[in-house]
Each structure stands twice: as structure tokens, then as C-alpha cells.
Structure 1
Amino acid sequence: MPVPPEYLRVGEFFSDFLLAVREETSLATRHQSYTCLQGVLIVFRRRLTPEQILTFAQILPPAVASIFIDGWSPEEFTPEWGTRDTLTREVRHLRQHHNFAPDTAIADVARALRRTIGAETLDAALERLGPEAAAYWAGS
């Protein structure tokens, strides 16, 4: 079996995804886009069980999946989802003095992810994770 292209060209795919995040968020740099992406992924991950984390990681492009699971600890589990404003503040808390995530960061990253992996793939995984997970990645 040949090596899947997403592994052969992982850097290219990741660069394209960061560009999509940058376009959706209107941030100025790839570094700002990365921090925004990382915050959105970590905030989401905190609300998932270990099994749910693996389910979600499997649909992500390899480099994005690595960011999603990097530094994970079971102790970070936070069962409460909270409001969109609360979640956005939590996204912005990551490296807060260097984080330029906009108020729309979660929806912006969701749109970039949908563009990259496809709405059907994302929605199928989210259906298994529950309504709060689907609401998080709604993209609106």
C-alpha cells in the first residue's frame, strides 16, 4: 500500500491549513493563527473523554491531530461546556499576552476545518461526540 499523501506532504497540508485559519480569522501571521488554532483545539479537548479524544483525532490532518493531543492529561477534563463567551475567553487564555484570537475564533477555526476535511467527515465524528461537541464546531 502506498504512503497516504497527507503523510508524504504533512508540512504542505499543515501550511495550507494554517493559511485557511489565518484567512478565516483575519489574523496577520502564521504564528498568531497557530496559537489561535491550538487554543481552540485544547479548549475542545478538555471537554472530551479519552475515547472521544481518539475519535476526534482520527479525522484531523496529521499535524493538526498532533497539536490536538500534544500535552494532553486526563486531569484536564472539564465536563462543563459553558457559554460560547466562556469558551472563547478560555481560548484566549493560552499564551494570553501573545494571543490575538478574535471573538469569533472557534467559529473561524471550525470553518477552516470544514474546508479542509469536509463537513460530512466532521459532522459524522461530532454526531458520535454529542450535541455540545457539534455546537462547538458549528462554524457560525
Structure 2
Amino acid sequence: MTAMPMPMEYREASVDFDRFMLDARDTAGLQTTNQAYTMVQAVLQTFRRRLGIEDAILFADVLPPVLRAIFVAEWDLEEPTVPFAGRIAMTREVQVLRPDHNISPDSAIADVAAALRRNVDEAKLDRVLARLPAGAADFWRA
């Protein structure tokens, strides 16, 4: 019996994550990938707060491995879900994560959405977003 080869998405996870972070950094006009990391983490958490566990798992499944890990890390399962709000309100939510180190621009959600769309199977992402609650697809519009 032969072993199944390691899937490329795991073999190339670090390279793919680095590419995504550079893309997010440049799209947002940030100086470093550390700044981009805080922005990306905050955008993912802001989206996650609006999903039940089953919907979050569906969404996580379209993310590359490292983004998937960031999306589910430090998840307080007791935190109640909140409804999708206007882009300005959700952007302010993004900007409060680690406020002393967060310089996410007002375009943070759109910037991360644009980078994500360039780094995942966009058709698969859109199919999953169509299954999620109202507001999910709009959240990920670049």
C-alpha cells in the first residue's frame, strides 16, 4: 500500500501565506507584513463574529491553511454572533484589535477581500459565500 502524497496546499502553505501577506500589505498601502497581519487577523475575526460555527467551518474550508488557522485561532465559542452592519461600523471593529499596534486603513476590509480573492479559488469562495447569511458576500466584495 502506498502512502497518499501530502497535498500541495500544505506543502506550500508558508510560501502561499507569505504571498498573501505581501499582497494584503501592498493593497492596503502598509509598510510591513506585521502591520498587515494585524489587519488580516482583525478582518477575519470581524467576519467570524457574524457566523455560526457551521457557517464558519464552510468559510474556513475555502481559506488556505495558514489563513484558516488564523480564522479559527483564539475563538471564544461563547461569544454571541452579531449581525452584519455597515462597512464603516465593521471597519471600526477591525481597527480596535490591538489599537496601539493597528494602523488598518479605512479600506481594510476591501483590501483584505481583494487580496483574498487573488489568492483563493474565487468561484469556490463565491459559492460558499452564497450559502452564508445575508451580508457575507457583501463583506468580501473588494
TM-score range, shorter chain: over 0.9
Deviation of 1:77 after TM superposition, in Å, equals 2.8
- 1:73-103: CA deviations, max 9, x gaps? 2222333212111100000000011101000
Deviation at 1:109, TM superposition (A): 0.3
> Structure 1: any 5+ residue segments left out of the alignment?
none
Alignment-derived partner of residue 139 in structure 2? 136
SS of the counterpart of 1:76?
coil
In the alignment, structure 1 residue 82 sits paired with structure 2 residue 85: yes
Structure 1 CA distance for aligned equivalents of residues 100 and 40 of structure 2: 16
Tell whether 2:73 aligns with 1:70.
yes
**Structure 2 contact 39–102 (Cα < 8 Å) conserved:** yes
Which residue of 36, 39, 53 corresponds with 2:39? 36
Question: Rg bigger for which structure?
Answer: 2
In the superposition, the TM-score normalised over structure 2's length comes to 0.94
Is the 1:48–1:77 contact (alpha carbons within 8 Å) kept by the matching residues of 2?
A: no
Q: CA deviation at 1:121?
A: 1.7
Verify the 8 A CA contact 2:51 2:133 in the aligned structure 1: no
Q: Name the % identity.
A: 45
Structure 2 unaligned spans of 5+: none
Partners of 2:126 and 2:70 in 1: CA distance:
20
Number of equivalences: 139
